Chains A and B, each alone.
Chain A
């Protein structure tokens, strides 16, 4: 058994659990459609891992819990500081030869939440708006996630598939389905690869019940934006090649075609996507580890 305490990597996705170490994964960056949907990739707390031989391979159970130390920026430019947020989870892995399979359950718990729009909704005195304010500031707030994935690290073929489902019991919470697939084929020091990632938020904003009058329009818009601030609907197709030209050093070249629809995961907040938008991104990176 292994027990750790301190700032620990979340490690619920199979690939790129060391997000800042590009040398440790195949693509030029981890898929933002997965990693961008969870605020923070590490937590302050503890975890315990139990491993034993099972069949011809190794079975592993990990339990984790702690505080998520994160700030997250929303598309409207505001920043949420949520250092009181707690995370609890359990992961189960089975490793056999070139295969690794993982299933994970996560709970994100916000003990107290103050919503910026709720006070204005309460001041309207309109019953539906007041009720919505109560839901927006409902405490505590909980989100639940399920992750399943499988990884094949053979030679020359390597592949990965990760699927994620997240839901929340409050209007502003993360509600999305996401997935990531990757195939790479090693040819000597070169590994060409293709990756596809997708995230789709579900659930629509609850209405305020306010009449569509000019005096209420800003508040109606703010309430809708508040509930959809963490939504993202985005797909990405990446083609690239990794070149291991020296020990502990690699060069990666990648081109991404990204399709966005009202996504929070865009690079430039000054160019709001009114509807569907597509980007082509060229990337070149040198990674090294020492």
Chain B
């Protein structure tokens, strides 16, 4: 059976776009594009976002930013620490009401979080890979 050139081209384009579509919902951790941080381990991101240590490995202060948007927030914590948002809420209740630390600053949506990271060299946040802009850089990819 002869396959038309158009069909072959369509198939090839579909194959090439598959990684893009599949990776679009990867959750990535981002910092300012000019930050000296080149990469972070999962454990280092856990320490920053779970209130254990508000510092980058370089010793510089880290300003974690949470995103209020439930789907990306749920995906981030599910992949980072395998917890749902109720468990994260309970975790922060324990830390906040014992006065140990305060939760991350909460941005209203991913766009606001990206803007904060782009304008603050200490900020660290997360978003879907498809939302990354040239003003931020990816330091950790949290694959499902």
Contacts and interface: CB of A to CB of B under 8 A. Distances in A.
Interface of A: 2, 4, 8-9, 11, 15-18, 20-21, 23-25, 51-53, 56-58, 60, 95-98, 153-155, 186, 189, 244, 247-248, 250, 289
22 contacts: A8-B99, A9-B97, A9-B98, A11-B98, A17-B94, A18-B96, A21-B94, A23-B89, A24-B97, A51-B53, A56-B41, A57-B43, A58-B52, A58-B53, A60-B52, A97-B43, A97-B46, A155-B87, A189-B86, A247-B86, A247-B89, A289-B97
Nearest to B70: A247
Given A9-B97, A186-B87, A247-B89, 6 more contacts: A9-B99, A11-B100, A21-B97, A98-B81, A244-B87, A289-B93
A11 B101 CA distance: 13
Contacts of A20: 97
Interface in B78-110: 81-83, 85-87, 89-91, 93-94, 96-101
Interface in B29-79: 41, 43-44, 46-47, 52-53, 55, 57
B97 A244 contact: no
Interface in B98-144: 98-101
Interface residues of B, number: 26
A105 B41 CA distance: 33
Given A9-B99, A24-B97, A289 B89 contact: yes
Contacts of A289: 89, 93, 97
